[in-house]
Amino acid sequence: MGKKNEQDRLTAYHEAAHVVARYRFQIGEVTYSTIKSGTHGHEASTGYTEAAWEPEGDVKLTEEETIAAYKEMERTPEFIVLTLAGPAAEYIYLRWPDSQYFDFLAQYMETQPKSGPPPDPVQACRLLKTDDEEKTDEKLDEAWRYAIGFVKTEWETINKVARLLLEKKTVQGEELYVQIRAIDERKGA
């Protein structure tokens, strides 16, 4: 498999994990998810999952408003799993050894923009930050392990959504949800 195809697959699994986490935790409603192959000499593929954060779908929260809202609603763990689900899916897809997840996270964070649309890994780290660096590391460790567990548990569903993204490149939210519900029905969930 070529490097371009492998990048597309990695991006599809990343976005699929965000879609499934949003669905499971009912955090916003996915409008669409898309992957785009690297172009114009760039090898990296990109992806994006658009979701309405509010029922009306047209309210855009700033990073600070998003963090404050999740802290206020006591949904910080779900928000962090949503945020880390994409990188966790990449970690599992690439079959990194369990003992090296901090190395993976450090490498992943170095390659990401400093802040993106909510949620992003920078926001997750800000939610976990305490005055005690050791305690912050412990919280990040716990959050990462929880995200890995979530992705492993949902791997069949993430795999199906990723394959759909690879096939169509852009998939509307309702079609994604139909696929997830079909898997749930088949599994008796």
Overall number of domains in the chain:
1
What confidence tens digit (pLDDT) does each residue in 103-160 have? 666 666 555 554 444 445 555 666 666 677 777 777 777 888 888 899 999 999 999 9
pLDDT band at 63 (very low <50, low <70, confident <90, very high): low
Residue 14 CA to residue 180 CA, distance in Å, equals 16
Under a CB-based contact definition with an 8 Å cutoff, are residues 59 and 53 in contact? yes
pTM of the full structure: 0.77
Which residues are registered as beta bridge partners of 30? Answer: 51
The token pair that represents 65 in the structure block: 């408003």
The token pair that represents 4 in the structure block: 């371009």
Domain that holds residue 88: 3-187
CATH number at residue 27: 1.20.58
The candidate with the shortest Cα–Cα distance to 115, out of 126, 107, 106, is 126
